[in-house]
Amino acid sequence: MLILLKYIAKLLKALSSEASPAQIAGGFVLGMIIGLTPIMSIHNLLIVILIIILKVNAGMAILSFLIFSGIAYLADPVFHNFGIWLLEKENLQITWTSMYNNEFWAITKFYNTVVLGSFLIAVALCIPMFPITQLGVVQYRKHIHEKVMKTKAMKWLKGTKLYTIYNTYQRVRG
């Protein structure tokens, strides 16, 4: 509970002013990739490591992962069909075969319709989603943040004992 609270607080803090819009957008698109693709894929391990190592916002990555997991469930047939189309494409057969015969690429399970389809769609979505998220953060700070902080939900959250403890802990920690 404390960890979840920590990330919500961090997310709110980041959204208000602490983190740059690019860091938040980075967390968003990386979380989106994990959410859209099968979670037990080798590329997701690399993305988790990237989230930890890079200065992207982890809270936004978690939020994004949760949102896009739900979307992925609905979009699964689209990913599957897109994967079939790609894997059966005549002019890509040589590429696929050489990748298949290479153990490194084979481990990625690119030859699976859902893995390939969802990963490529997720990567493609990164291109519009990154600047859109950046823009969204700027707009949020300018127009929405104040209103959100004044909502009853936020007031209730700030009034909880856990939040007080967390704040105290953060102050002591410096």
Binding-site ranges for another protein (CB under 8 A): 38, 49, 52-55, 72-73, 76, 79-80, 83-84, 87-88, 93, 96-97, 100-101, 103, 106-107, 109, 111-115, 117
Q: Kindly report the number of other CB atoms within 10 A of residue 45's CB atom.
A: 11
| 5-8: Cβ within 8 A, 24+ apart | 5/162, 5/163, 5/166, 6/166, 7/58, 7/59, 7/62, 8/59, 8/157
By C-beta, is 1 or 53 nearer to another protein?
A: 53
| Residue whose CB is less far from another protein, 3 or 53 | 53
Exposed/middle/buried for residue 50 (C-beta within 10 Å: 0-12, 13-18, 19+) = middle
Tokens of 83: 């994967």
CB of 79 to another protein, least distance (A): 8
| Residue placing its CB nearer to another protein in the complex, 159 or 174 | 174
Q: Is 109 left (phi over 0), alpha (psi -120 to 50) or beta?
A: left
Nearer to another protein among residue 74 and residue 153 (C-beta): 74
What minimum distance in Å lies between the beta carbon of 144 and another protein? 28
Task: Burial-class residue 25 by CB neighbours within 10 Å (0-12, 13-18, 19+).
Answer: buried
Q: Which two tokens stand for residue 136?
A: 């969204």
C-beta of 141: minimal distance to another protein in Å? Answer: 23
Residue 170 CB, nearest approach to another protein (Å): 16
Which CB atom, from 109 or from 145, has the smaller least distance to another protein?
109
In the complex, what is the shortest distance from the CB of residue 100 to another protein, in angstroms, rounded to a whole number?
Answer: 4
